[in-house]
Structure 1
């Protein structure tokens, strides 16, 4: 077995760079605090771990072989992320009543991850690039699942903590409108790389 360091470096960079999940973790931390955002973060991390395992088992190959299925996944995922971006951008301060009243649940975080085009791209890319690290698809699935799941937990916790810090800095409704608009725009922008 060759070194897994390149895989770990890839996974850390892929999960810590800004995207839909990190933007949602930041927005949730700012709006609801760290503890109330844990279900969202766990849902995303579990979703990514399962998606990485599925990619390691071969679904990635199926998506690469069927471009129409890949396009459908990207379209549905992009539409959902754009809807969330719109909701975040239009929300005001946490106590204004015009944003989400409750944080995203574990199940919704899990489902959201499966609709995120960046997640599909990075897990399929990892499965294709690092397939020789394991002696079987099952071992590759376990390796990818563990690497992506742990890295996602750490990354999302960091981004959520940033959101908590931003919430302490923002005091006025205007500050919150600017933050929410920025988070919405960043989330919407995270869809662009999926269509290149």
Structure 2
């Protein structure tokens, strides 16, 4: 169980679309503005986790045209988010918008977020610690996962908000934006390579 918790922590803390966009919202709009987005990410992540646990994700992704459509949507949206972050100029976060990404955007992101499928697949297909009681194992894993998911995402939101509040030089802010966009594009590249 400890190995499972450590795997959850390290898989969640690494940059992916959810945490990078959360940090971007924190940087651009502040800490409290990210709560609705986080709520959407959490619910969407819960649904994708359920799809993985029940095997429905594997069935859906076995349909070639559906897999291709989801891949295109994923790559397109993640590239768009990377562009919004990179083109924010000297302001850390997203390009100017009237309001932050909200609940709906967080929820929908999880369905095209490759990490939302890869992480649960890795965690729930491995790290068996109650083989005699698989239902309880899944329940315990979901509880542990969420007990780590919430603070990790709140940390990324707070880090983004703190970064956005610092009086950094324009060059440093631009460098941070390009680094965040590069990390997002790395996720896109990994998704493309995994689907070759």
TM superposition score normalised by structure 1: 0.81
Residue deviations 1:95-123 (CA, integer Å, cap 9, x gap): 9x952331110121011122111111111
Residue deviations 1:53-91 (CA, integer Å, cap 9, x gap): 221112243246445543432321111110111112112
Pairs within 5 Å for 1:53-92:
53-63=50-60, 65-66=62-63, 68-92=65-89
For residues 78 and 162 of structure 2, what CA distance do their matches in structure 1 show? 24
For residues 143 and 67 of structure 2, what CA distance do their matches in structure 1 show? 25
Aligned mate of 1:154, from 151, 155, 160: 151
Count of aligned positions: 191
For residues 169 and 72 of structure 1, what CA distance do their matches in structure 2 show? 40
Aligned mate of 1:177, from 171, 174, 184: 174
Structure 1: state its 5+ residue gaps: none
Contact 1:41 1:106 in 2 (8 A): yes
- How far 1:179 moved relative to its partner? 2.7
For residues 67 and 128 of structure 2, what CA distance do their matches in structure 1 show? 21
Q: Counterpart of 2:103?
A: 106
Q: Counterpart of 1:10?
A: 7
Distance 1:145 1:69, change over 3 A: farther
- How far 1:131 moved relative to its partner? 6.5
Structure 2: state its 5+ residue gaps: none
TM superposition score normalised by structure 2: 0.81
